[in-house]
Amino acid sequence: MKAAVYYDQSDVRYEEISRPKIKAGEILVEMRACGLCGSDLMEWYLKERTPLVLGHEPSGVIAEIGDRIKAFEVGDRVFAHHHVACLTCYYCVHGDYTLCAKFKSTHLEPGGFAEYFKVPAPNVQVDTLKLPDNVSFLDAALIEPIACCIRGIEKCNFRLGDTVAVIGAGPTGLIQLELAKILGANQVIVSDPVNFRLRAAKEFGADIVINPLEEDVVEKVREATDRRGADIVVLTAPSGNATSTAIDICRKGGVLCLFAPASPEETVRMKPHQLFFSEISVIPSYSTSHLETRKAVSLLQTGRIRAGEFITHRYGLDQVEEALSLATKSKECLKIVIESR
């Protein structure tokens, strides 16, 4: 079978590789659509594991099923989550599924940017979902990022009428914007240095958009909140400067959600007394679990999340290098999806 094999950002080869063989409890899925994630652009995160097949937001059609599979049949349209928890360890019992030791050890083989991928038995059992008839493969390529955003906003203890500020208007920033609106935010403020993304944020319902290259973000947020600051700040841009801004625009007693991974070398200049005396809660949110993926499917099925409107570019498996280049360099793209054509 063919797959897009990643060696580095400028070297992705469309190669022939072995089609995975399945065992009892496993399924083989023919990939139809798979989202390109921001983590697919992080060379510091990928370089130790190359060469590899990227893609962890896939949807497709079951091509083969292993023995003892009862819940699925060949031909079923499915989403498969790339990581799943054991559900029985200390962390799982406490609801911290993404901290489970098994979570990061479960993977789709070889990855979503391939004609076929194998879903291991634990992933089949815990978080492989049949797609409703009105959820397309393209829609399903957003299940994982939507689920990640759901987990993030839920960890912030959102309350009806809150003001939410989102720093970074990429795909996950816009999803956070939509979720805040669905939950009943009084206003959502979005900051991004790219005007294309700010226009998209307005189209998705942002009440206020701010370009930090043109306006003072802290002052604009204070003006909009009776000088208090935002109740919840969601940081989807991992730079040190953005983190400092996020702290400055969070109200006393507010919540700052660290939603984007920073490189190990990234540092932040901050004053601990600001967090202490303002009692700002800093809550990281990494990945998602089987609980949120089901909520994401429901939002797509009911049309409350407009998944298709996030997708600005679609590429074939033989164009992954071009897709990575666009995502890295272009200021006029949102969600990119890879399709097996």
Q: How many C-beta atoms lie closer than 10 Å to residue 171's C-beta?
A: 26
- pLDDT reported for residue 226: 98
Task: Report the CATH number of the 2-142+305-339 domain.
Answer: 3.90.180.10
Residues in the chain: 341
CA-based angle 179:183:189, to the nearest 5? 60
pLDDT of residue 45: 76
Alpha-carbon gap, residue 59 to 30, rounded angstroms: 8
What is the C-alpha separation between 74 and 63, in angstroms, rounded? 5
Q: Reply yes or no on whether the pLDDT at 341 is more than 80.
A: no
Residue 226 CB neighbour total at 10 angstroms: 9
DSSP string, 234-290: EE-S--HHHHHHHHHTEEEEEEEEE-SPPPTT------HHHHHHHT-EEEE--S--H
pLDDT of residue 307: 82
Between 186 and 241, where is the model more confident? 186
| Interval 325-340 mean pLDDT | 94
**CATH, range 155-284:** 3.40.50.720
Name the pLDDT band for 259 (thresholds 50, 70, 90). Answer: very high
Residue-wise DSSP of 57-100: SEEEEEEEE-TT--S--TT-EEEE-S----SSSHHHHTT-GGGS
| pLDDT for residue 266 | 83
Which tokens go with 258? Answer: 């660290």
Beta strands across the sheet bearing 2-8: 11-16, 2-8, 52-53
User: Does 155-284 match 2-142+305-339 at the fold level?
Assistant: no
Position 41 scores a pLDDT of 80
> pLDDT per residue over 215-243, tens digit each?
999 999 999 999 999 999 999 987 778 99
Instruction: Please write the tens of the pLDDT for every residue from 59-98.
Output: 999 999 999 999 999 999 999 999 999 999 999 999 999 9
pLDDT at 271: 84
pTM of the model: 0.96
Q: In this predicted structure, what is the pLDDT of residue 46?
A: 81
Residues 6+ apart with CB under 8 A from 117: 20, 28, 29, 31, 55, 58, 60, 80, 108, 109, 110, 111
pLDDT value for 265: 82
Buried b (16+ CB within 10 A) or exposed e, 173-205: bbbbbbbbbebebebbbbbbbbeebbebbeebe
Closest CA to 339 of 53, 41, 170, 114: 114
* Amino acid 85: pLDDT: 99
pLDDT(267) > 90: no
pLDDT at 268: 82
pLDDT tens, residue by residue, 115-130: 999 999 999 999 999 9
- Cα separation values, 299 from 112, 308, 311, Å: 23, 13, 17
pLDDT confidence of residue 176: 98
DSSP 150-211: HHHHHHTT--TT-EEEEE--SHHHHHHHHHHHHHT-SEEEEE-S-HHHHHHHHHTT-SEEE-
Token code pair at residue 236: 């989807």
**Cis, peptide link before residue 284, omega less than 30° from 0:** no
What are 149-185's pLDDT values in tens digits? 999 999 999 999 999 999 999 999 999 999 999 999 9
Output the pLDDT for position 69.
96
Q: Encode pLDDT of 5-56 as tens digits.
A: 999 988 999 999 999 999 999 999 999 999 999 888 887 778 788 999 999 9
What gap in Å lies between CA 42 and CA 44, rounded to an integer?
A: 5
- Could you tell me the CA-to-CA distances from 274 to 199, 229, 269, 282 in Å, in that order? 33, 13, 12, 12
Predicted local distance difference test score (pLDDT) of residue 43: 78
Measured in degrees and rounded to the nearest 5, phi and psi for residue 154 equal: -70, -30
pLDDT for 256 beyond 80: yes
Structure tokens belonging to residue 281: 């809660």
Domain positions in the chain are: 2-142+305-339, 155-284
Residue 290, pLDDT > 80, answer: yes
